[in-house]
Amino acid sequence: MQKLLIANRGEIALRVIRTCKEMGIATVAPYARVDKDLLHLRYADETICISEVDYLNRESLITAALVSDCEMVHPGYGFLSEDSMFCRMVEQNDLKFIGPTEDQIASMGNKANARAKLNTLGLQSVPGSCDAVSNLQDALNIAREVGFPVLIKAAFGGGGRGIRVVEDESSCTVAFAEAQSEASSVFGDNTVYIEKFLDNARHIEVQVLGDGHGGAIHLGTRECSIQRRQQKVIEEAPAPNVPQQLLDNLCDLAVSAVRKMKYRNAGTLEFLYQDGEFYFLEMNTRIQVEHAISEMISGVDIVRLQIETAILDRLTLTQADVIFSGCAMECRLNAEDDEYRPCPGVVANINFPAGPGVRVDSHLYNGYRIPHQFDSLIAKLVALDTDRDRTVQKMRRMMDELSIEGVDTNRNNLIQVISSDQFRNGDVHTGFLDQLKR
């Protein structure tokens, strides 16, 4: 297989192109006309304009793949990577989908169902409903059983959308209606479920890859607790300040579940950690935004492994081949103001950090106009060093070197976090940013 269509844009599209070039695989980049100045379009072997604004149209992407004689489709991360219908359409047209099966995407995409399924495979989920909750009375009964505060969450949610924190019974009625309404408008399905709100828990995940036949490996853990509005801002690998035996056990449990599922390709199992216990949260059936830090500590190119697994129908690595070293950290640079509002504009006088152990994944360049139609993520700054203290110091130095004019970014917020004593001590949790702002 020698040709691949990238059904995505921006940083992840450029990331896939780079690995494909190293593998001798030609790339095709479909794009929307409003996005015609994207950097990755300069490096793709072919480009195809498929619309004025929408680069996510399934039919147009399949047509682009067929007319350009592609054999594979890589969805990157985001909408299409977790769209079971898109996976089905790709494979019905005899194209190789670089990701899980249609059934696996659908099964894990419904997070209420995923909780139930993974419970049967040995993973303890956050206390809450065992299934979808369809009416307010059931929501109240479950909330009383697990104890307030609780989360009402969209079953097909993601990106921090369709979530409401409910502190007590009096606020449950409004929150339930709001969660259902947002779930319906954003995800096209108003199904919700209830989860105990674990105050100040940590968000820890395990990167896995499966061959689709019962074989699987992991690439260690990631700490993703620094979040704003349930969206990750800073990640690191491995998770700090957790006994190694507990992390090893978590990875073993994750791999065991993936093997039983006969899971195919890359995925991530996410957990909440509190009081020495791990609780399964959800599974993302795709490569993650934060995959770079797993690559840095393992030396594994996850995109290459994704493509190889899809082509060869087997993993090209065993667990024994994966050797972990050092600590890696990623800061997500977003074009936004201090209130997290997107700030599109024209980039000027950009200077990215460099040096040993420094990686920057970005599609920015001087003169690039950041469009308002798409996500505000504009760069991922990644540091690697021998231990966490040195990695934090390196990231602080990287932030000093970073400069971008023309658009507002969250650079100052990132500096505030990594400079705080609490963060430097590894005392992190999902409520960290809210407490820091106070």
Catalytic residue (one of 164, 202, 259, 286): 286
* Nearest Cα residue to 236 out of 19, 11, 417: 417
* Nearest Cα residue to 216 out of 106, 291, 314, 300: 314
Phi-psi region of 105 (alpha: psi -120 to 50; beta: other; left: phi over 0): alpha
Helices (H) and strands (E) in the chain, counts: 15, 20
Residue 396 to residue 418: CA distance in whole angstroms: 7
* Letter string b/e over residues 133-166, b meaning 16 or more CB atoms within 10 A of that residue's CB: beeeeebbebbeebeeebbbbbbbbbeebbbbeb
Query: If you count them, how many residues does the chain have?
Result: 438
> Which distant-in-sequence residues (6+ apart) come within 8 Å of 234 by Cβ?
226, 329, 330, 331, 332, 414, 417, 418
Residue 328 to residue 236: CA distance in whole angstroms: 5
Torsion of CA 411, 416, 421, 425, to 10 degrees: -30
- Catalytic residue status for 286: yes
DSSP code per residue over 60-127: HHHHHHHHTT--EEE--SSTGGG-HHHHHHHHHTT-EESS--HHHHHHHHSHHHHHHHHHHTT-PBPS
Residue 38 to residue 32: CA distance in whole angstroms: 10
* Nearest Cα residue to 29 out of 18, 213, 281, 435: 18
Torsion of CA 164, 103, 57, 99, to 10 degrees: 100
Amino acid at 283: M
Which residues are known catalytic residues?
286
